[in-house]
Amino acid sequence: MDFTLPDEHQMTREVVRDFCETEIEPIAQDIEDDHRFPEEIFEELADLDLMGVPVPEEYGGAGGDYLMYALVAEELGRVSGSIGLSYVAHTSLATMPIVKFGTEEQKERWAKPLAEGEYLGSWALTEPESGSDASDMDTMAEKHGDEYVLNGTKQFITNASVAGSVLVKAVTDPGAGYDGISTFIVDPQQDDGFEVTTVWDKMGLNASPTCEIQLDDVRVPEDRLLGEEGDGWDQTKKTLDGGRISIAALSTGLGVGAFEAARDYATEREQFDQPISKFDAVRDMIVSMDRKIERARLLTHKAAVKYDDGEDVTRISSLAKLDASEISREIAEDAVQVLGGYGYTTDFAPQRFYRDAKLMEIGEGTSEIQHLVLGRELGL
């Protein structure tokens, strides 16, 4: 166990773990095989008041902090990377920016139903040609009277096909560089011209929809502008600080799930008249998994606590995301090895954790981008 958690946090973790083991774990492989978004699971998470953990109660949330939210993300990742991914994208990317940057009217109209779990949210930044250079944006928003007209394409957007609101980044001043990017709240159900053109088949995480969306003369009223014109890039950087903590927590959970599968198998599986956990090579792999998890969890919790204290977390959240994402993939790969041939089959969980973990090194800024961020933070 990590450092002693406050009673409320420990209780939340236990509630989520019990829910994950009874409701999610039995279907985790099935929803992956079927590429099915498990809407019923998110309805149950809403019933448990978990869809807006770090959102203030007045806006429909649980009034928890980011540490509590990180605990929930870890527990979800421990049984299902797909459910965990859709959950953290909904919370840190789609809901918290409205809470942090929105007007009172926007918080009431848009943040509250998200936090209450009435529907999921989505966040649309990446474009087909931008990749890691997210500021290289072609999506445009032109002011026409008292509304904006949005045109462009967004790529690899989590939850877009199941979302009730999408935060879209678009250029409002083409000559202003970073200062020309703004954020808009789009209603995919009501706003004409919004279309999900692709739901991608992926290496893993197929129960969490990853989409391409097309914006074709999407008209939104000016009260859907989040903050002021030109605030979009600063909002993005602040959002990603919290988003990296989300991915760090989710990655830690994936690592825990793979570790537990390997440990349990190694203590039960016998070869040469003894459990394979007694062989040095297997034991050392499992010990290394445990060490890596503790390191990643401590970094993640440190980042979450600093975030809750209002400190600058760019460096520590990037460290946590980089470390946790890489260890989740390493642990899952070793878990497959511990299980041998069984680890390569879908009857056992390590293969799923292995495939899911790889995205953690790509999403919310690749490992290479994290090195770039950390180098800048160190003045290099």
- Per-residue pLDDT reduced to its tens digit, 272-325: 888 888 889 999 999 999 999 999 999 999 999 999 999 999 999 999 999 999
Question: Where, residue-wise, is CATH 2.40.110.10 in the chain?
Answer: 122-230
- Count of beta carbons in the 10 Å neighbourhood of residue 379: 5
The CATH homologous superfamily of the domain defined by 122-230? Butyryl-CoA Dehydrogenase, subunit A, domain 2 (2.40.110.10)
Q: Which of 376, 309, 271, 323 is nearest to 67 (CA)?
A: 309
pLDDT in the model for residue 134:
67
What are the CB-based long-range contacts (under 8 Å, 24+) for 4-9?
5/67, 5/71, 8/64, 8/68, 9/67, 9/68, 9/71
Kindly tell me if the per-residue pLDDT of 220 is higher than 70: yes
**Interval 49-95: pLDDT, tens:** 999 999 999 999 999 999 999 999 999 999 999 999 999 999 999 99
Q: Where in the chain is the domain with CATH 1.20.140.10?
A: 233-377
Report the sign of the C-alpha dihedral through residues 208, 17, 321, 258, in that order.
negative
pLDDT, residue 272, reads 83
CA separation for the pair 57, 301 (Å, rounded): 23
Q: How confident is the model at residue 1 (pLDDT cuts 50, 70, 90)?
A: very low
Q: Annotated catalytic residue: which of 74, 75, 326, 364?
A: 364
CATH tag, 233-377: 1.20.140.10
Element (H, E) at 221: strand 210-221
DSSP state of 194: E
Q: Is the pLDDT of residue 132 over 70?
A: no
- Which range, of 126-130, 157-161, 235-239, 360-364, averages the lowest pLDDT? 126-130
User: Do residues 140 and 150 lie in contact, with contact meaning Cβ atoms separated by under 8 Å?
Assistant: yes
State yes or no: is 14 an active-site residue: no
* pLDDT tens string 3-61: 678 999 999 999 999 999 999 999 999 999 999 999 999 999 999 999 999 999 999 99
CATH class of the domain defined by 7-120: mainly alpha
Beta pairing partners, 158: 210
Delimiting residues of CATH 1.10.540.10 domain(s) in the chain: 7-120
